C-alpha cells in the first residue's frame, strides 16, 4: 500500500507518503525541500537545504557496512517511559560541488521547546559530532549525489515521561534534517 499526496507551500512542494508495513499498519514520512518548524513530528524526514539532502530515522538499531545503511526497528515515534536504547540512521546526499571538502556533522537532541537536552551528573548536552569528507569515484557522472551513511547508536537514556523531543542533524552548522518522537505518559 502506498499513497502520496502533494501540495505547494509557497514555491516548495511538500509530499506526504503513507506506506503499509507487513502487518498492514500505516507508516508515514514527509519529503520537503526545507526543514519544518520545531513542532513538526514525523517518523522519517527528508530535507534539502542549500543543495544538501538528508534522511534521518529514529530506530532500534542501525549500522553501516559496505557503504550501506542497515536499519532494524525503524520509524517509531513513541517510546518509554523509562530508559530505552535507540539509534539514528542518517543518509546524507552530498552535493557534487561539495565533494573533496571536510564537513562537520552534528546530531543533537532538543525538547519540544527547542532547548538542548542535558543528561548525567553533571548534566551534559546529548549530541554527536563528527567530520567527514567524500570523494568522487572515477567515472561517476557529474552531478550524481554522493551518499554518506551514518549510524549513531545511543546507550540507555531516561527521558521525562509525556514529553516531545527532536533529533536535529546539521551539516557545517546548518540544519538539514529533523525527526521527532514522544515519551509515553507515566502509568
Reported as a single tens digit per residue, the pLDDT across 59-80 is: 999 999 999 999 999 989 999 8
Q: What is the pLDDT of residues 85-142, one digit of tens each?
A: 999 999 999 999 999 999 999 999 999 999 999 998 999 999 999 999 999 989 999 9
CA count, 13 A, side-chain hemisphere, 84: 20
pTM above 0.85, yes or no: no
Q: What is the pLDDT of residues 7-59, one digit of tens each?
A: 333 333 333 333 333 333 333 333 223 333 334 444 444 444 568 889 999 99
Sign of the dihedral through C-alpha 50, 181, 152, 137: negative
**Three-class DSSP category at 97:** helix
Q: Which of 152, 180, 177, 122 is nearest to 60 (CA)?
A: 152
Give the per-residue pLDDT at 144. 86
Domains and CATH numbers, the chain: 43-183 (2.60.40)
What is the DSSP annotation of 130-171?
A: EEE--PPPTTPPTTPPEEEEEEEEEEEE-PPSS-EEEEEEEE
Amino acid at each position: 500500500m502506498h499513497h502520496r499526496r502533494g501540495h505547494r507551500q509557497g514555491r516548495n512542494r511538500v509530499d506526504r507518503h503513507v506506506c503499509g508495513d507487513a502487518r498492514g499498519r500505516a507508516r508515514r514520512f514527509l519529503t520537503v525541500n526545507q526543514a519544518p518548524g520545531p513542532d513538526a513530528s514525523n517518523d522519517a524526514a527528508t530535507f534539502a537545504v542549500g543543495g544538501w539532502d538528508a534522511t534521518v530515522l529514529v530506530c532500534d538499531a542501525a549500522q553501516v557496512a559496505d557503504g550501506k545503511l542497515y536499519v532494524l526497528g525503524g520509524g517509531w515515534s513513541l517510546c518509554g517511559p523509562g530508559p530505552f536504547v535507540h539509534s539514528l540512521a542518517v543518509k546524507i546526499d552530498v552535493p557534487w560541488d561539495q565533494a573533496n571538502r571536510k564537513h562537520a556533522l552534528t546530531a543533537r537532541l532538543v525538547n519540544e521547546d527547542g532547548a538542548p537536552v542535558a543528561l548525567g551528573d553533571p548534566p551534559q548536552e546529548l549530541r554527536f559530532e563528527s567530520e567527514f569528507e567524500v570523494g568522487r569515484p572515477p567515472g561517476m557522472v557529474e552531478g550524481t549525489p554522493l551518499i554518506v551513511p551514518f549510524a549513531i547508536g545511543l546507550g540507555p537514556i531516561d527521558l521525562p515521561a509525556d514529553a516531545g523531543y527532536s533529533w536535529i542533524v546539521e551539516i557545517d552548522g546548518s540544519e538539514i534534517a529533523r525527526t521527532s518522537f514522544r515519551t509515553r505518559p507515566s502509568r
